[in-house]
Structure 1
């Protein structure tokens, strides 16, 4: 391969490339599971790349809903501990909004004293991102500055041009894949690069109707002025918005097994009534509206203070899953008009 910045991958060669990669690493990709697109270990199935972004974010492969932190065995009054080594993994098809979410999580779990289970998964994972040329109706990543174009955080970046994919490297690992599997790639034509720009401009136009996102001052005013009692009546406190959000990261830790067993980290949600309940039974946030207000404060005030980025990436998953049909975008739109 000669030196160039972009390459072209024919559509029919994509499966062959993934087959070769799966021989050395676990390949995770969006496939159909019960007629819905979901990220799962790829075993040769048809890829679900034409569907909207899967409801479960690929960020879950870095922060699973349940994971074993370590195992412990007691013998003669002493404990020995063991940990499972991280898998070498390649995640294919991650969208720009999820890349931004991963950057936010990096600022939380990777700052100061790094979280070792999270950091080990990050180090052992290759990310092949996919530019979003067909955003969903509820997406507002453009307003959050997190899409639809992926600008950083990937090893390889693909853009679907119809007849094939424009491929760009974003890291030494990406360059290595291009060189090691060079027979699947050819130099990109200048027209391919122009087509990429055209398609992504169309994708952005689809989201212009959502408008610019309110500035931080307006967000604070909206949160302070909102009728949280009314919002709480609409909220079913199911926690679904947290469990599909790629940025939500609350968790609980428990030990399972005595004297031998394992320490687990399980995803939790501040929307749930038991999250802030104390041992005495007292709960500082007993009402759904108060918990929903805390959810907004965390995303739009507390997380930005720590990471410099909003805790929302505009993926729209929370609105898609909400049984109370509460559109998170509409909240700010109504509150700031």
Structure 2
């Protein structure tokens, strides 16, 4: 059984070594090459094609995904597959970002003459400024680290961390240069929670048509309860003869009515409904509606149009189902 203190010491040493590697990275991001690489990518009217073998390929996959999700069209191409047809995805407006810690990945070096012949800009990311890839590239981003966290000096550890951070630095700098917003991010993440919060409108979530609970103001409480039970939202809108909203009746109102020993069959819903209820319009974001419910400590809302007529209704459960919460 290995001593627990020893395991913790080994783990802590890895963090210390990789922390030093990131401290070392400042000088390369502060260099003119980093800014030039950003400018080159900003001028690109095509895609950023990211390449890398082995662990560099795994990091390259993540970098391409981060670029793509933050406003810079990009995707990863495996260098080995590229030599057997996948290089056909390159177009004349693209730019290539090639990653290799040694700067001598043969699979990438094989492709460089083709990339050059196509006239595509090449940015290399290596830990060796004197490497073949560094010299052949139009721009070189250095990710050299003092040492790998692997005690054997073999497994890519500090170098892959530095490469990943360099990729994040590129993506975020480009994001800010493009003026990329939360709304832009949501458009590329429609399936994510942020996308749902930023894209879903009340009209996408609300119950409308036959699903909308609504009763006339002159009916009795019992009839209103039937509508609430039928529609299953725990409330109903109350309207006048012109279908204008005059109030709302909820499960909470029912509890108060029962406590007051009101006759449910003879009392008009207009006498016990909540007047001046909180309403929203269908064109606002569902997240805004949720904020209204939280602020007012209510579980449901009636959605109205410009004529103050109810066109929809929603409750907290709808927000949960829609992934807004």
Name the one with the larger strand percent.
Answer: 1
TM-score between both structures, scaled by the size of structure 2: 0.23
Structure showing greater relative contact order (alpha-carbon pairs closer than 8 Å, 6 or more residues apart): 1
Name the one with the larger helix percent.
Answer: 2
Larger Rg: 2
